[in-house]
Chains A and B, each alone.
Chain A
Amino acid sequence: MNLLSSLAIAVTALLAHKTRTLLASLGILIGIASVIVMVAIGKGSQQEVMDVIAGMGENMITINAGEMKRRGGRLRLSGNVTTLSPRDAERIANEIEEVELVAPFEEKRMNAKFGNNAAETTITGSTVDFPLIRGYRIEKGEMFSERDLKTASRVAIIGKTAIKNLFGEEDPIGQVVKVHFIPFKIIGVFEAKGVDTNGLDQDDLIFIPLPTLMRRIVNQTHVSRIFVKISSRENISKASEKIRELLRESHKLNDEREDDFTLVSQLDLEEMKRETSELFTKLIVGVAAISLLVGGIGILAVMLISVKERTKEIGIRRAVGATRSDIVRQFLYESLIIGFLGGGIGIAFGVGLTLGLTHWGNWTLLLDQDSIWTASWVCAVIGVVFGVFPAIKASKLDPMEALTIE
């Protein structure tokens, strides 16, 4: 018997039981569709995170005072270490050739006042390199200068969130904001930057010269962080090593003592997020495997019922000359078609949903071609695997018994 007539028989049989065929393929359909959408969500969020990491600063190394520990997937600083200083930043800038820009950094959550308005915001102190390293851009007004740093001037650049909280709709440029009873003149406005990888609002800040913050507000000589920009991505690891050596020497740490600082490079962050997304991918694969297994069992159940219900048909076909393999093929084709039907509609559904969510839902989803190909193969394999058993069962029947069964 040729392929075409086998297929024709299978199609006819499936068309005779449309509802059952659809129900059988429903499991596969939902499984495939959800896998495609979930993979797209995973890829999309991974892309988003990578964009955020890149947005935090290109080729950046962050030096944190004290030991960083990972808690719940996020880096948190522990202890209160006072050894990291602006002097370290100067030495890094002068002594390490791979370093392009350096910005010692300190911040404090404080109330700022404008007229009768008061709002808590992050008072950020750093140098002129800070906006360049972290990718903050001046939207209006201007940056403060080296001179402002030397004289510890009371000037500030303000972020969008802080503007909203303090000024509302009013233009902040030229206005005076009071922090810790000290008046600061707003000379510039940062472009909006959004949230960082930890979900913190990067626009809720008032940026002032570091010496002003250290002397007039927090009254300390150490900083909690130094941001460093490296000349190129390839140099990040080498520069990290050099910075570590320099700081250990500068902090007079002998061989027995641990680092009193933590270096986190852009590569580390990417690696961390990659691990998270790999975990997510494994989860998707797991869920996919389960849902496809359920879909396969759906096919199995329907095919077993079909075989039982059509025992007499099998007997008739055998009586007029169908071989065992003809019968196996007929039922195998049926389950294959169910598999492909479910898979095909599932792919269409999954792709449609992905595109729809991207278009109207304002989600970041990335359609993954591999997942579609894999899905197609999985459909075929499920069709065969879960169809083989009922098909063989059908072919094993003695023709006479099949005919006389009631």
Chain B
Amino acid sequence: MSLLEMNSICKSYRNIDFETQVLKDITLHINEGDYISIIGPSGSGKSTLMAIAGCLSKPTSGEYILDGEEVDKLSDRKLSRVRNEKIGFVFQAFHLLPGVTALDNVTLPLVYSRNPPSDIKERAREVLAKVGLEHRLHHTPGQLSGGEQQRVTIARSLINNPPIIFADEPTGNLDSKNGIETMKTFDKLVKEGKTIVLITHDSEVAEHADRIISILDGEIASDTKRQPSNLPEKL
């Protein structure tokens, strides 16, 4: 069974006198452990696709099943729980709470968790160590470099151990060195069994994935699996 299943998803925004169709009839299946890139030029609808896949926005029509749950029909409360437990986000602009320490930013999802673990701080330290930030626990985003901020974001996406992580232009605000570091982290996470969806317009970033889906004008233009050259390494 697919981890993520989209059937005929449409999304349109209604203005005063005309309707813009951002997504047209998207059908997409993603399996557990997949490493996927969604590419397309700006305005192609890839960010909207991520918003719907990440339960940040609801589709206008179509069916969306995530981890066996029909999320397009869920109430706000249940949808929030899905975001909390099943999805991790890494954003281009990091989206960390300003003035709050790295440690507290990382624990934020657990604040809204239904059954938060007792060792919150301990787990936050663990994931921050995993992204190499054990020495920056009490720094606020303003005191961290772009690369460090992005690693805090990754740590936050991991804290609740969700099966799937969406990364929207994760290297967009980083220099090439930090970009490479970030991508290495994602590669590592896939090897640990996470499902990762990269949204990008950068073909170099997209190349890291095993499957590249390209979006054009709200439709899937191509869906290609990579040559199995890397497969032995994965196995």
Contact = CB atoms under 8 A, between A and B. Distances in A.
B56 A319 contact: yes
A312 B95 contact: yes
Name the interface size band of chain A.
20 to 34
Q: Which 4 residue pairs spanning A and B have beta carbons closest together?
A: A321-B84, A321-B112, A400-B56, A320-B109
Given A321-B85, A322-B112, 11 more contacts: A5-B111, A315-B95, A319-B56, A320-B108, A321-B112, A323-B112, A324-B80, A398-B56, A399-B57, A403-B56, A403-B95
Interface of B: 51, 54, 56-57, 76-77, 80-81, 83-85, 89, 91, 95-97, 99-100, 108-109, 111-113, 156, 160
A325 B85 CA distance: 18
A400 B51 contact: yes
A241 B47 CA distance: 92
B57 A319 contact: no
Interface in A313-337: 313, 315-326
Contacts of B76: 323-324
Nearest to B88: A320
Interface of A: 1, 5, 9, 12, 16, 312-313, 315-326, 398-401, 403
Nearest to B50: A400
A317 B112 contact: yes
Given A398-B57, A399-B56, A400-B51, A320 B97 contact: no
B108 A317 contact: yes
Contact of A316 (B57, B84, B95, B160): B95
A167 B69 CA distance: 103
A319 B95 contact: yes
Contacts of A403: 56, 91, 95
B96 A319 contact: no
B80 A322 contact: yes
Contacts of B80: 318, 321-324, 326
Contacts of A315: 95
A312 B57 CA distance: 15
A9 B56 CA distance: 22
Contacts of A320: 83-84, 89, 108-109, 112, 156
